[in-house]
Amino acid sequence: MDDVLLRLDDARIGYAGRVIIHAACVTLRRHELVVIAGPNGSGKTTLLRALAGLQPLQGGERHASGIRIGYVPQRERIDPLVPLRAEDVVGLGLFGELRPWQRMGATERARVRDALERCRALDLARRPWRVLSAGQRQRVLIARALVVRPDVLLLDEPTAGLDPATEREIVAMLDELRRLEALAVCLVSHQLEPLAGRSTRVLRVEKGEVSPEARTP
């Protein structure tokens, strides 16, 4: 049981009195790569947001004490108009730790570089966010989540809109992270093929229900 990092028990999830998912039971453990799948509008992102603590539960419980969440939203969330370089975007992940007048020191900059390197994106550090390709942006956002030093990495459709080669690279990178860094990785995806052989479990969300947690072969 020590490997359990995050758990939803009988969670009822929805917006403004409208329940979208009834009684979800989800457990995330170290070294897992869990995929949340299901048709459009079924509530996959809502479930992910509930796991991240962003969506208040209408019932049930969320157990996540003492763990750090690394959250990777959809790429389009960051406006290309914002004049941030890739390293600035990753640096946003440290804002939770820095005091108001504290400057980013050598330690923090080293952490940013380390996170970029782990995502094979160190060469992008000085490049503006707006000129990065979809795959490069995805790597930078994953680095931003990693700089938090998370126990659980939650990703919202990290492979959507990517070409097959980049898609494979991102999935391989996530697989490597969960194996080597004792992370639990949970991601939303429409397509299961690129994740075949990498994911440890698939959660199906459909008609307000989360399917029993089945281990993939």
Report 38-57 residues binding other proteins (CB under 8 A).
49, 52-54
Binding of other proteins by 185 (CB under 8 A): no
Q: Which helix (H) or strand (E) holds 37?
A: strand 33-37
Contact 159, 194 (CB under 8 A): yes
Collapsed DSSP state (helix, strand, coil) of residue 104: coil
Judged by CB under 8 A, which of 44, 85, 118, 201 binds other proteins?
A: 85
Nearer to other proteins, 57 or 71 (CB): 71
The CA distance from 189 to 23, in Å, is 21
Report 2-41 residues binding other proteins (CB under 8 A).
none
Contact 140, 90 (CB under 8 A): yes
Nearer to other proteins, 91 or 200 (CB): 91
The CA distance from 180 to 51, in Å, is 23
Q: Which two tokens stand for residue 205?
A: 């969300």
Over the window 58 to 77, marking each residue x when it contacts other proteins by CB under 8 A and - when it does not, the resulting string is -----------xxx-x---x
Tell the smallest beta-carbon distance from residue 47 to other proteins (Å). Answer: 15
Nearer to other proteins, 115 or 148 (CB): 148
- Sign of torsion over alpha carbons 93, 43, 174, 140: negative
Binding of other proteins by 135 (CB under 8 A): no
Q: Which two tokens stand for residue 40?
A: 């459009």
Binding of other proteins by 78 (CB under 8 A): yes
Q: Which two tokens stand for residue 124?
A: 């992008």
- Piece of the chain touching other proteins by CB under 8 A; list 17-25, 80-88, 168-176, 199-207: 80-88
Q: What is the DSSP letter of 210?
A: E
Q: Which residues bind other proteins (CB under 8 A)?
A: 49, 52-54, 69-71, 73, 77-79, 81-85, 88, 92-93, 95-96, 98, 100-101, 128, 144, 148
